[in-house]
Structure 1
């Protein structure tokens, strides 16, 4: 799917009439957004920008030299963007930015939420635009802000889970259910989400560092001073977010250890209670077993008070050990 955006009197406008057409794209096109592009759409864009665009296989490469490179006069930058963060299946999507000839081409096979929000904004109104580098800055800032929002939400969720894990008695009161298995799933999902965010922030750091020091001495595209200044400022924000993600990862580890420790303590308490109850029930069981034998020569068999005496003996054999356990504070 191809989305074309043109610059019209200093404003960025979505040229919907160009999206599904087969005609060549006009020279006023500033931003071309390709979502799961077809070979025909790729050829159409390549004819406008005059340079090959990265394929899906090239976007999936993990070497930094493949993700950040200069091809002729074009700058190819591929970053990992966190998508589907509000679902139970967050993942990382490759997004390629190609700056060439005063135009920006973005290629992705999963639509990140910042891109979708930006297109929705442009569908209702045009916004001021100085060029392709300004569009790049807007998109990257939106991705960073989206990742920051996810980390803020994760931080609040971890605070809530921590307050529940570190308060109260070891054993839950009667009628209280904590759902340890559900807590473990939530902790695991949170750790998985933080890991995805860390991967995204690391790739953004490398791209912003590349843009902040690209001054034309690398034999290719030379960004403006405003773009390098923006890249340096945004790099500080991304570095801070990455450090915060590392802090949240350590918090997840602590919370996981605490939850597993509580579960282990509760299991030990339950085993101890069952063991003590078993010991308490052993003496009356022994008495009942003895007097339940059917031997002919038993002194108490014909005794008038034998049955009440056996009941009393069983009661005493249960109460006296219980008093002993209470005095020793085993329960």
Structure 2
């Protein structure tokens, strides 16, 4: 899918008609957004910017020299973006930014939330951007804000879990229950999400650091100043993500510790009950022996005496256990 945005008196305008057909793209194009592009769409974009665009194989490379390179008068930068963060299966999507002169081309297979939101704003003529570098800055800022919001939401969820752990069972709210399996799943999902967010932050940090240095690329002062500011924000977010990773480890250790304590309590209760039930069982076994000559068999108080002895043999060990505070 191809989205074409042109410069319309300093504002981005979505040129819907330009994406259709096989005609050359307009010269006023500032931003081309390619979502899972076809070969024809790639060819039209390459004809406009005058250089080749990265292939899927090149976008999948993890070497920094492959992700950040200058070739054919164009700057190609590939980053990983956090997508589907609101679902149970967050993923990392690869996004390539190609700056060629005053134009920007973005290539991706999955639409990140930041790019989708920016494209919606641009389709309503609400984005002032006359050059590709301005569009790049706005898109990266949107990706940083999106990742920041995901980390902030994850931090709040971890705070809720940790407060519930350390509050203790006696202070739970009415109707509140703790499902150990669900709790472990939530902790694992938070750690999984933070890990993917850190991967995205690392790739964005490398890209903004590359732009801030301006090695081999004649970027404007405003772009380098923006890149330095964004790089500081990314480093701060990475530190916060590390802090959240520590909270995930604490929550996981606490959850596993509580599960272990609960299991030990269950085993302890079963063991004590087994000991407490042993004396009355022994009395019942002796009194139930099928012999002709049994003491108390002919006595009218034989059966009540056996019941009383069984009850007494159960109460005495129970009192002893309570005095020792074993239960």
Asked if structure 1 preserves the Cα contact closer than 8 Å seen for 2:60 and 2:94, the reply is yes
Partner of 2:83: 83
Structure-2 change in CA distance of 1:295 and 1:173 (3 Å): farther
Partner of 1:247: 243
Aligned pair count? Answer: 327
Partners of 1:50 and 1:311 lie apart in 2 by 100
Mean CA deviation greater in 109-118 or 297-306: 297-306
Partner of 1:283: 279
Q: Could you give the per-residue CA deviations for residues 22-51 of structure 1, whole angstroms, max 9, x where no partner exists?
A: 100111101000000000000010011111
TM-score of the superposition, structure 2-length normalised?
A: 0.97
Structure-2 change in CA distance of 1:176 and 1:103 (3 Å): closer
Partner of 2:8: 8
- Corresponding residue SS for 2:167: coil
| 2:137 is aligned with 1:141 | no
| 2:196 is aligned with 1:196 | yes
Asked if structure 2 preserves the Cα contact closer than 8 Å seen for 1:170 and 1:265, the reply is no
Q: CA deviation at 1:177?
A: 2.7
Asked if structure 1 preserves the Cα contact closer than 8 Å seen for 2:32 and 2:106, the reply is yes
Q: CA deviation at 1:295?
A: 1.2
Q: CA deviation at 1:101?
A: 2.0
Partner of 2:32: 32
Q: Could you give the per-residue CA deviations for residues 41-66 of structure 1, whole angstroms, max 9, x where no partner exists?
A: 00010011111100111101111110
Asked if structure 2 preserves the Cα contact closer than 8 Å seen for 1:170 and 1:266, the reply is no
Structure-2 change in CA distance of 1:170 and 1:279 (3 Å): farther
Q: CA deviation at 1:127?
A: 2.5
Asked if structure 1 preserves the Cα contact closer than 8 Å seen for 2:5 and 2:31, the reply is yes
Partner of 2:224: 228
Structure-2 change in CA distance of 1:304 and 1:175 (3 Å): farther
Partner of 1:256: 252
Q: CA deviation at 1:126?
A: 4.2
Where does structure 1 lack aligned partners over 5 or more consecutive residues?
none
Q: CA deviation at 1:175?
A: 7.4
Partner of 1:313: 309
Structure-2 change in CA distance of 1:171 and 1:149 (3 Å): closer
Structure-2 change in CA distance of 1:121 and 1:174 (3 Å): closer
Partners of 2:176 and 2:10 lie apart in 1 by 62
Q: CA deviation at 1:230?
A: 0.3
